[in-house]
Structure 1
Amino acid sequence: MTIHSIEAVHEGGCACGAFRFRAMGKPIRVGMCHCETCRRVHGSAFGAYAIYRRDQVEMSGTLATWRSSDEGRRHFCPVCGSVAYMEFVSRPELDLPLGAFDETGLFEPDYELWCKHREPWLQYGARPEYEEERTA
């Protein structure tokens, strides 16, 4: 008898459905970001992302891109404006927003970044915290 490994596939996309993605397997890590750009882009107190290797994600649809920093690229749906994903050009990974997945409760963040900008009413000490970027 042969046992086959079934790799989890999680799908998601933008609010209007013009952009879709399929993420295969487990993310590399899951984090929350309190940087000022994530706060503004998401219109929320933070951004929360599942980070996957590029080769783990398939995408369909047309996106627009904003160069948010020297390294950062934020891709969004030009129809509804939803954040589709972000990336740093020097890293072989994509950051998929947790709110863009079709299912809720898939992933819990492992850490928080840019905590120096965190809202004071958010809980402290729930996971490893970094004042700015991760060190590991």
Structure 2
Amino acid sequence: MVKRLGGCLCGKVTYSVEGMPIRVGICHCTDCRQESGSAFTYFGIWPASAFETSSGETHQYAGRQYCRSCGSRLFACDAEEAEIKLGSLQDAPTGLAPTYELWIKRREPWLPALPGAEQFDEDRTQGGN
């Protein structure tokens, strides 16, 4: 079984996730743009049972966890799913290609659609990604 390690920029928060993600996507919504400081965010969804925080303490804002020391955005986790910011994984490239894009109506016009990825004007399903 594949085990991926991740963490924050300063190294105080580390986590692991096992197996393959349920799905991988990118999101262009205003929240993701502002939270990431970029034109989109790149994330993977795993079952919550596959995710484990190894070390460190995080702060939370609107369900999103980030490092208290360096501010790295890392993950969001509820009872069912863990959403991992794939840029926080230790090994790059990850080999995890997005299969869908959310909120494409907010995608920058100079940024082309991902070939083969399903496109959604807003959320993939009602209530979130």
- Does 2:85 correspond to 1:85? no
Question: Quick one: distance in 1 between partners of 2:114 and 2:93?
Answer: 20
Matched residue SS, 1:16: coil
Match of 1:62 among 57, 61, 79: 57
- Structure of higher CA gyration radius: 1
Change in Cα spacing, 1:81 to 1:132, as seen in structure 2 (3 Å) is: same
Match of 1:37 among 20, 31, 40: 31
Which letter maps to 1:99? G
Structure 1 match to 2:47: 53
Structure 2 match to 1:76: 66
- Does 2:8 correspond to 1:14? yes
Number of aligned positions between the proteins: 123
Question: Quick one: distance in 2 between partners of 1:124 and 1:33?
Answer: 12
- Structure 1 unaligned regions, length at least 5: 1-6, 68-72
RMSD over aligned CA atoms reads 1.5
Match of 1:117 among 97, 106, 116: 106
Question: Structure 2-normalised TM-score?
Answer: 0.89
Post-superposition offset of 1:105: 2.3
Match of 1:102 among 85, 90, 101: 90
- Structure 2 unaligned regions, length at least 5: none
Question: Quick one: distance in 1 between partners of 2:114 and 2:16?
Answer: 32
